[in-house]
C-alpha cells in the first residue's frame, strides 16, 4: 500500500577545528546540500527496486516521481542515504542525522567523517 509521511530532518556537523573562515560549516553551504537532498526525495515515491510489485508502478507513475532504493526505504535507510550523501560533500569530523517520521518516532545515525 502506498502511503506518505511528513518528516523532519536535523543534521549536526562537528569539527575539532574551525575552517579558515572561522566556521565549523557555513550554514548557507549546509542548507544548500540539505535542500538538494530534500528536493530529490520530497513528494516522491520511495521504493525498493527489487520488489516486483513496485516495478509495476512504472506502468502508471512517471519515472521522475520515483526514487529507487536498493533496500526498504525505512526511516533508518533514508537517514543512512542522507548521511551517505552528506559525507561526500561536507568537510567535517562527524555527521549526525536525526530523521523524524512522526512527532514521536525518529531515528538517529552518526558517522565519523575524518579524512
Residues whose CB falls within 8 Å of the CB of residue 11, separated by 6 or more in sequence, listed in order: 30, 34, 82, 86, 95, 96, 97, 98
Between 33 and 57, name the one with better pLDDT. Answer: 33
Mean pLDDT of the chain: 90
Grid coordinates belonging to 3: 502511503
Flag whether 1 is in a domain. Answer: no
Rounded CA separation 74/48 (Å): 10
What range defines the domain where residue 31 resides?
8-112
Domain count, the chain: 1
Flag whether 78 is in a domain. Answer: yes
Flag whether 49 is in a domain. Answer: yes
pLDDT tens digit sequence for 64-99: 888 989 899 999 999 999 999 999 999 999 999 999
CATH number, domain of 54, equals: 3.30.479.10
Amino acid at each position: 500500500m502506498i502511503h506518505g509521511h511528513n518528516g523532519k530532518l536535523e543534521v549536526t556537523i562537528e569539527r575539532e577545528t574551525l575552517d579558515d573562515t572561522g566556521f565549523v560549516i557555513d550554514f548557507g553551504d549546509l542548507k544548500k546540500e540539505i535542500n538538494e537532498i530534500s528536493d530529490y526525495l520530497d513528494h516522491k515515491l520511495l521504493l525498493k527496486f527489487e520488489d516486483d510489485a513496485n516495478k509495476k508502478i512504472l506502468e502508471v507513475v512517471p519515472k521522475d516521481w520515483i526514487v529507487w532504493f536498493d533496500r526498504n526505504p525505512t526511516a533508518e535507510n533514508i537517514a543512512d542515504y542522507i548521511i551517505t550523501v552528506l559525507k561526500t560533500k561536507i568537510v567535517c569530523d562527524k555527521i549526525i542525522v536525526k530523521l523524524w517520521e512522526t512527532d514521536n518516532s525518529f531515528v538517529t545515525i552518526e558517522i565519523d567523517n575524518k579524512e
